[in-house]
Amino acid sequence: MKVKITSDSTCDLSPELIKKYDIDILPLYVSMGEETKKDGLEVVPEDIYAHVDKTGKLPKTSAPNLNDFIELFDKWHKEGYSIVHFSISSDFSSSYHSATIAAEEVGDVCVVDSRNLSTGQGLLVLHAADLAAEDKTAVEIKSECDKLALKVEASFVVDSIDYLRKGGRCSAIAALGANLLKLKPCIEVIDGKMTPSKKYRGKIEKVILDYVRDRLNGREDILKNRIFITHTKCSPETVNQVRDLINELSPGFNEILETTAGCTITSHCGPYTLGILFIRK
């Protein structure tokens, strides 16, 4: 039976990758004031920056509703597909819970809790697409991706913690101290949750390169099939420097993929955030 790979929009895959791997994306919702729009279709990160600059308030993101999932799964089920669906970590959103309820109603749908976000989730989605191309069954794909989710290494370095403060993820006092000291925190995804780790100091362009060195230097436990550079509003020069540093410190990746983070990561982390995301052996 044919297998269709679907994901919620938090996987942050580029339009080119979505088309290349034939992924169907279900958007989350983004609410700004009285308006609620679909992530990536009706609202983009630039809209979020403009909204925060104008109002000082972050938009709210919410999971697709149950009917959205049923409609997505039913469409592909009627075309003769088994479905493997990927959701943002169940610790971040109700997306996984709603997807599992819809899967039970439609039938022949396997739902994977990515235990991740952004292209940490995207890495699993692309791996699933590779397995589907090898004629693996939906059950086989889910089983392998459930195990692989534990080996995804996702982290980001953040220029300013203002967005984290506005979103209630750090206190106003902590934000004041970090801003006065010009601290740039690294945020890691561990066991499905965002956790602050090392704090850097200095201009974000230098901090990003220091962060990449810390993530890759001396590492021999990284799968070399693909690595993501995922960012919000970083300059092409910075991204190219990161690409060069990856090739210097950890040569041999089959693919170094660049994506711009979508509305979920943008709402949490703000502009000039960058992460490198990969899978451990």
- d(CA 197, CA 188) in angstroms, rounded, equals 7
- Cα 94 to Cα 109: distance, rounded to the nearest angstrom: 17
Domains of the chain from N-terminus onward: 2-28+63-150 (3.40.50.10440), 154-279 (3.30.1180.10)
- Interacting residues of 181 by C-beta distance below 8 A, sequence separation 6+: 201
Q: Can you read off the two tokens belonging to residue 265?
A: 């990561």
Q: pTM score, two decimals?
A: 0.92
Nearest-10 crossing angle of helices 118-133, 138-148: 140
pLDDT of 61? 87
pLDDT of 170 reads 47
**pLDDT score, position 83:** 98
**pLDDT one digit per residue (tens) for the chain, 281 residues:** 799 999 999 999 999 999 999 999 999 999 988 899 999 999 999 998 898 889 888 888 899 999 999 999 999 999 999 999 999 999 888 999 999 999 999 999 999 999 999 999 999 999 999 999 999 999 999 999 999 999 999 999 988 766 555 444 444 434 434 444 467 888 899 988 888 788 898 899 999 999 999 999 999 999 999 999 999 999 999 999 999 999 999 999 999 999 999 998 888 888 899 999 999 99
Buried b (16+ CB within 10 A) or exposed e, 48-75: bbebbeeeeebbebebbeeebbbebbbe
Cα separation of 153 and 148, whole Å?
A: 10
Q: Which token pair is 52?
A: 């925060």
Please state, in angstroms and rounded to a whole number, the distance separating the CA atoms of residues 183 and 72: 43
Six token digits for residue 102: 């819809």
